């Protein structure tokens, strides 16, 4: 069984946010509109977080794209009272929109804050109807349930149906939308349990780190520390 | 054949205690009408939420829980008043608690449903609440909560009812002038209680046993409520002290609520002879102990955080001490500790009015305290970028008001239907609950006639 | 199946938790009913 993971090279990320947009389109993520956005209710399955270090003139900015970490020891799964979120055999942390009771306990459990709630009936602008993904697993969620990044599980499913390989190792490999779209080629996807896969090798790189590793959540999204590019400046 | 009346222990205050039941005044009807209107407003507010979703509240990312969960913790906390007075003090053999038990337990029985309602109101998909039963996962603190709180609610109602039983029989026998439906209700609820010495004896034994069980439940319930927060990894929540902290807070605010309820009952129903200053003085001492205990917990928690200086915890710490929530935090400190301590120690002795002032402040402060435990942590999650904020809306306000209105309404109606001071428990006879042997035999031998002729 | 795994499965799978709630409440209901009946039967002459 593959154990799906992701690597994001922060040296290559330009913070263009194409990943966020692609994810949104692929997964029918709803649009909040300016009012709800101001009320901090916008949904971003993938978000690019800007962190500023230091003070002018010694300032440095870091941009960290964050999907769901798909932890191997997920604190969100632990606290769900109805099993609406669970980790499948390939390591993907799923959300069952039909069982979720909207208690938001999983959202409190996630130390990365990567889960989102449908505070209202989700909406999309008219123009979006052309881009809707008809796939069942990306179906629009109802109000009152939690949602989050699924590593584009619908893509993994139809890759298998069509006999396509999965992962960044293959030129025609099927990968999540964010990985496919990344303009800087900063994102990789593959089987962490395959020692030869690119994600596996990069996860063992001296530049590799994970967010909040000390919590023991065992996230499966690895980051490669920026440094090579800045060091060469 | 079932006798129509039964033996009732003699209580010289019986008339005083029963007098509220003999009439319903215009003031009552106005009060109930106002409370019902407030509840109506709350129902309307909830209907907006049902249709449009939780977005009608001020909740957002990262403040996923707010006023509703605060209400949940608060109302469950209030419930501990009754159990503390009737169960824990019963085990301690504190006889002074006797006149207070029913009024206190009534707070328990009438606040718990609104605690449960608060959680249901907070759910995104209330229509799927049965999933908790079909798909319940016991690894989740929420399931521990569902189990503990349901058991506590159920047990409290039973405990309350059993303690009420002899007095229901008394009402059935004495209150002949009330409406027929009411007499029928008493007859039905009295379960044929006859006041036999053995019945009283067994009742006392069951109440003793249930008191032990309820005490264990009290500890479990509020600890488990605290663990909804404590079992997450959020800074400010994930602390071993949170269980005991919530437990003490619950007993504290509950006891203060009892003071308020009793003072109102005493004044409105002219029960100065029955509810003397003495039990109030005992409650006053308990409140002083509790407020000092609360201070201890606060110092233990915050000094530990401050000394350790973990960055994630300090973000939350400063939010409370100097940041966005500083006004609320310090208001809480004033109303839960500083003012009540001064009032209770220097002004409260023998003065019920001042005790009520302190108790109202305490309850106000404890609501704020729950809020200040829950929300600041959410506004400063780890990996924070963009700071959290929370502005409750009219929906949350209306629903909160309607929960309080509901509790007060149930309580107020209760006091017009059942004696709010337990007549059988405060009766004079030395073995307060058993009649002199001769009379008992006479009663049972000749049936009801003898009893009716010799009340 | 080892005991450890059985316990782990009991806690983590969906369903047993609900059973616990039902069992606890049902047990309580039965106990309270029997206790109430016992109280009311105290001193009944044809015991």
Q: CB distance from B60 to chain A under 8 Å?
A: yes
* pLDDT number for residue A230: 57
A 78-97 → C contacts, CB under 8 A: 81-83
Higher pLDDT, B92 or A218: A218
Interface test with C, best of A74, A83, A84, A103 (most C CBs within 10 A): A83
> For chain C, which chains pass the contact test of at least 3 CB pairs under 8 Å?
A, B
Contact predicate B219/B247, CB 8 Å: yes
**Cα A49 from chain centre:** 12
Maximum average pLDDT range among A56-65, A217-226, B96-105, B420-429 = A217-226
Of B139, B146, B165, the CB nearest to C11: B139
Nearest CA in chain B to A212: B383
Rounded Cα–Cα distance for residues B155 and B93 (Å): 21
Q: How close C29 gets to chain A, by Cα (Å)?
A: 24
CB contact under 8 A, A104 and B65: yes
Tokens of B57: 């509240």
Cα distances from B113 to residues B298, B403, C29, in angstroms, run: 29, 9, 18
- Strand A221-224, strand A146-147: pairing: unpaired
Residue whose structure tokens are 């969906």? C14
| A139 near B CB under 8 A | no
Query: Does B194 sit behind a cis peptide bond, omega within 30 degrees of 0 on the bond before it?
Result: no
CA–CA dist A96, B144 (Å, integer): 22
Q: What is the pLDDT of residue C46?
A: 64
Question: For residue A74, which residues of chain B lie inside 8 Å, CB to CB?
Answer: none
Q: Which of B53, B129, B231 has the CB atom closest to A119's CB atom?
A: B53
Tell me which residue in B135, B162, B206 faces C18 most closely, judged by beta carbons.
B135
Of B55, B126, B135, Cβ closest to residue A99: B135
Residue A229: the pLDDT is 59
Q: How many CB pairs under 8 A join A and C?
A: 4
CB pair distance less than 8 Å for C42 and B198 = yes
Query: Is C13 close to A82, i.e. CB distance below 8 A?
Result: no
A77-86, B392-401, B443-452, C28-37: the lowest-pLDDT one:
B443-452
pLDDT confidence tier of residue A232, bands split at 50, 70 and 90: low
CA angle (B379, B384, B388) in 5-degree steps: 25
Which is it for the CA torsion A90, A96, A97, A98, positive or negative?
Answer: positive
Chain-chain contact of A144 with B125 (C-beta, under 8 angstroms): yes
ipTM here: 0.93
The per-residue pLDDT for range A28-50, each reduced to its tens digit, is 999 998 999 999 999 999 999 98
Task: Tell me the C-alpha distance between B145 and B228, whole Å.
Answer: 8
Residue B341: per-residue pLDDT: 96
- Domain residue spans of chain A: 4-231
Question: Are A202 and A182 contacting, i.e. CB atoms less than 8 angstroms apart?
Answer: no
Alpha-carbon gap: B401 to the closest alpha carbon of chain C (Å)? 30
**Spacing of C-alpha B243 from chain mean position:** 18
B132 to chain A, any CB pair closer than 8 A? The answer is yes
Q: Which residue has the tokens 């901090």?
A: A40
Cα–Cα distance for residue pair A128/A201, rounded to 1 Å: 38
Contacts of A137 by beta carbon, 8 Å cutoff, 6+ apart: A150, A153, A154, A157
The tens place of each residue's pLDDT in chain B, 455 residues long, gives 444 567 888 888 888 899 999 889 999 999 999 999 999 999 999 999 999 999 999 999 999 999 999 999 999 999 988 888 888 888 888 888 889 999 999 999 999 999 999 999 999 999 999 999 999 999 999 999 999 999 999 999 999 999 999 999 999 998 888 899 999 999 999 998 988 899 999 999 999 999 999 999 999 999 999 999 999 999 999 999 999 999 999 999 999 999 999 999 999 999 998 899 999 999 999 999 999 999 999 999 999 999 999 999 999 999 999 999 999 999 999 999 999 999 999 998 999 999 999 999 999 999 999 999 999 999 999 886 667 899 999 999 999 999 999 999 999 999 999 999 999 988 875 444 444 444 444 444 444 444 444 44
Pick among 3.40.50.720, 2.170.120.12, 3.40.1080.10, 3.30.70.20: CATH of A4-231? 3.30.70.20
CA–CA separation, B56 vs B334, rounded Å?
32
Q: Residue A51 — pLDDT band, cuts 50, 70, 90? A: confident
The C-side interface with A (CB below 8 A) comprises 13-14, 17
* pLDDT higher than threshold 90 for residue A60: no
Residues of B with a Cβ under 8 Å from any C Cβ are 132-140, 143, 146-147, 150-151, 154-155, 158, 162, 165, 191-193, 196-203, 206, 444
- The CB-side HSE value for B305 (13 A sphere, CA atoms) comes to 22
B244 CB contacts (<8 Å, ≥6 apart)?
A: B223, B297
Q: How far apart are the first and last CA of chain C?
A: 50
Question: Is B437 in CB contact (< 8 Å) with chain A?
Answer: no
CA nearest A99 in C: which residue? Answer: C14
User: Taking CA atoms, what residue in A is nearest to B140?
Assistant: A79
CA distance B5 to chain A (A): 50
Residues of C with CB under 8 A from a CB of B: 10-22, 24-25, 28-29, 32, 35-36, 38-40, 42-45
Q: Using one digit for the tens of pLDDT, what is the confidence trace for A122-155?
A: 989 999 888 899 999 999 999 999 999 999 999 9
Answer whether A35 touches B (CB < 8 Å): no
Smallest Cα distance from B150 to chain A, Å: 16
Residue B455 pLDDT: 42
pLDDT at A145: 97
The residues near B361 (Cβ < 8 Å, ≥ 6 apart) are: B335, B336, B339, B340, B343
A117 touches B: beta carbon within 8 Å: yes
User: Is B312 exposed, middle or buried (CB count within 10 Å of its CB: 0-12, 13-18, 19+)?
Assistant: buried
Which residues, 6 or more positions from B284, have their beta carbon under 8 angstroms from its beta carbon? B259, B344, B348, B349, B355
């Amino acid at each position: 069984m593959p154990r799906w993971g992701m690597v994001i090279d922060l040296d290559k990320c330009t913070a263009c946010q194409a990943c966020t947009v692609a994810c949104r389109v692929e997964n029918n993520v709803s649009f909040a509109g300016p009012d709800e956005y101001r009320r901090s209710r916008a949904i971003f399955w993938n978000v690019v977080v800007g962190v500023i270090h230091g003070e002018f003139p010694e300032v440095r900015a870091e941009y960290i794209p964050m999907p769901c970490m798909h932890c191997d020891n997920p604190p969100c799964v632990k606290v769900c009272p109805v099993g609406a979120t669970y980790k499948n055999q390939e390591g993907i942390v799923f959300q069952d929109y039909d069982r979720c009771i909207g208690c938001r306990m999983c959202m409190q459990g996630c130390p990365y804050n990567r889960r989102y709630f449908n505070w209202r009936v989700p909406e999309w602008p008219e123009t979006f109807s052309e881009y809707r993904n008809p796939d069942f697993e990306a179906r629009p969620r109802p109000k009152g349930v939690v949602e989050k990044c699924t590593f584009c599980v619908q893509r993994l499913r139809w890759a298998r149906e069509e006999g396509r390989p999965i992962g960044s190792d293959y030129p025609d490999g099927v990968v999540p939308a964010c990985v496919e779209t990344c303009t800087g080629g900063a994102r990789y996807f593959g089987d962490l349990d395959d020692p030869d896969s690119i994600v596996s090798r990069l996860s063992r790189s001296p530049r590799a780190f994970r967010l909040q590793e000390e919590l023991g959540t065992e996230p499966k999204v690895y980051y490669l520390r920026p440094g090579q590019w800045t060091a060469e400046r | 054949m079932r006798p129509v009346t039964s033996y009732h222990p003699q209580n010289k205050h019986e008339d005083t205690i029963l007098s509220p039941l003999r009439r319903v005044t215009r003031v009552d009807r106005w009060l109930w009408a106002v409370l019902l209107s407030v509840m109506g407003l709350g129902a309307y507010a909830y209907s907006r939420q049902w249709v449009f979703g939780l977005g009608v509240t001020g909740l957002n990312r990262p403040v996923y829980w707010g006023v509703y969960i605060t209400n949940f913790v608060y109302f469950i906390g209030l419930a501990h008043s009754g159990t503390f007075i009737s169960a824990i003090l019963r085990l301690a053999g504190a006889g002074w608690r006797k006149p207070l038990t029913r009024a206190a337990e009534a707070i328990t029985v009438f606040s718990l449903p609104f605690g449960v309602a608060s959680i249901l109101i907070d759910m995104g998909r209330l229509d799927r609440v049965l999933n908790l039963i079909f798909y319940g996962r016991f690894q989740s603190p929420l399931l521990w909560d569902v189990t503990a709180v349901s058991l506590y609610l159920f047990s409290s109602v039973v405990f309350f009812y059993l303690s009420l039983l002899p007095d229901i029989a008394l009402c059935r026998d004495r209150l002949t002038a009330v409406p027929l439906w009411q007499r029928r209700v008493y007859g039905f609820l009295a379960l044929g209680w006859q006041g036999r010495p053995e019945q009283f004896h067994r009742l006392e034994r069951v109440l003793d046993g249930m008191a032990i069980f309820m005490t264990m439940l009290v500890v479990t319930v509020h600890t488990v409520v605290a663990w909804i927060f404590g079992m997450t990894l959020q800074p400010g929540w994930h602390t071993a002290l949170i269980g005991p902290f919530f437990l003490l807070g619950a007993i504290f605010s509950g006891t203060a609520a009892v003071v308020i309820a009793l003072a109102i009952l005493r004044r409105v129903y002219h029960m100065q002879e029955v509810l003397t200053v003495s039990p109030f003085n005992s409650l006053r001492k308990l409140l002083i102990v509790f407020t000092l205990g609360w201070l201890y917990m606060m110092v233990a928690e915050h000094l530990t955080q401050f000394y350790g200086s973990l960055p994630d915890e300090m973000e939350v710490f400063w939010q409370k001490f100097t940041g966005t929530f500083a006004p609320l935090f310090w208001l809480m400190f004033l109303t839960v500790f500083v003012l009540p301590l001064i009032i209770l120690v220097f002004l409260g002795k023998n003065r019920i009015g001042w005790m009520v002032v302190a108790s109202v402040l305490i309850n106000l402060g404890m609501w704020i305290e729950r809020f200040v435990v829950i929300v600041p942590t959410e506004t400063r999650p780890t990996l924070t970028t963009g700071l959290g904020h929370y502005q409750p809306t009219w929906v949350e306000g209306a629903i909160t008001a309607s929960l309080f209105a509901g509790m007060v309404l149930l309580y107020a109606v209760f006091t017009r239907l059942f004696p709010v001071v337990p007549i059988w428990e405060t009766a004079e006879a030395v073995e307060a609950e058993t009649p002199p042997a001769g009379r008992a035999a006479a009663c049972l031998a000749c049936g009801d006639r003898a009893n009716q002729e010799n009340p | 199946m080892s005991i450890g795994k059985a316990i782990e499965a009991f806690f983590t799978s969906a369903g047993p938790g609900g059973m616990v709630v039902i069992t606890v409440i049902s047990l309580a209901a039965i106990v309270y009913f029997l206790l109430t009946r016992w109280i009311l039967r105290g001193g009944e002459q044809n015991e």
